Amino acid sequence: MGGGRPTVVLETGLGAESAEWAAVQERLALVARVCRYDRANRGASDPAPTPRTARDMVADLDRVLKAAGEPGPYVLVGHSFGGLLVRLYAHLHRERVAGLVLVDSMHEDQFDVFGPLFPPAKPDDSQPLREVRAFWTGGWRKPESTQEGIDFPSSLDQGRAIGSLGDLPIHVLTAGTFLNQPLVPGAARPHLQARWEELQRRFLDLSSRTTQSFAREHGHFLQREAPDRIVEAVTAMVAQLHPSVSAARSPGSASGGARGRNRRGSGPE
């Protein structure tokens, strides 16, 4: 949808199809060309052999963009697991990337950090809690644990191999993932959120041009709960790259797009 440069590409996470980007895509189409797609084994796309690694998915994305005739450079917007994919794409195809917006992105060390923090199982645990605990404490290592058949150990190693992205503009948008997680006891939420934000801050070291904003009042799936916050961040990125595009043209700009945004190295507001 839309037109203009650079082209914005929306990359989804594990728990959502690309259709959940519709509200974001429609609003961003006022200022840029915006593309979304379903990865293999998801949504409307065909099946692919499994297990699959992040590099396999990045290669698919590169082929899709070329086959569709969508010219670079791109602003890549990655949510959750999609954040790992867009970082890897920028690492492998730096000349084709104009900027990154990481929407509550997965971090390569998150399973190591949070897996041991799960309390022991209790007989009255809900089924959703049992499933989440099983995934985070080891199930993630099995490709059959995800619809896409993801080889997470290999994919996380591929993410860890990402070095500096130079002066690539990167914006880190961090949600209140654990503050708004109903499966987590209320008393434990602030501590877990602080650990999550520690991981998020590590992304600020990827480039010499990084910024961060916070949406702590919303949960992990910002494209569902607060699409305007993503629109604000991406519109600001597009305006930074093309000053002729004013952030005021964004439908979400009236809600205070700069709220909580910090220069690299400063603390959360």
Instruction: Give per-residue pLDDT as tens, 64-86.
Output: 999 999 989 999 999 999 999 99
Domains and CATH numbers, the chain: 7-263 (3.40.50.1820)
Listing DSSP states for 52-79 in one string gives B-HHHHHHHHHHHHHHTT--S-EEEEEE
Phi and psi at 201, nearest 5°, equal: -65, -25
Q: Is 179 left (phi over 0), alpha (psi -120 to 50) or beta?
A: alpha
For the stretch 91-121, pLDDT in tens is 999 999 999 999 999 999 999 999 999 888 8
CB 47 within 8 A of CB 268: no
- Quick one: which H or E segment has residue 8? strand 7-11
What is the number of alpha carbons within 13 Å of residue 192 lying toward its C-beta?
Answer: 23
Q: What is the pLDDT of residue 7?
A: 96
Among 107, 106, 94, smallest CA distance to 207 is for 94
Residues of the chain with pLDDT under 50: 247-269
Q: What is the pLDDT of residue 246?
A: 54
Alpha-carbon gap, residue 233 to 216, rounded angstroms? 15
Q: pTM score > 0.95 for this model? A: no
Strand pairing partners for 103?
79, 173
Amino acid at 210: T
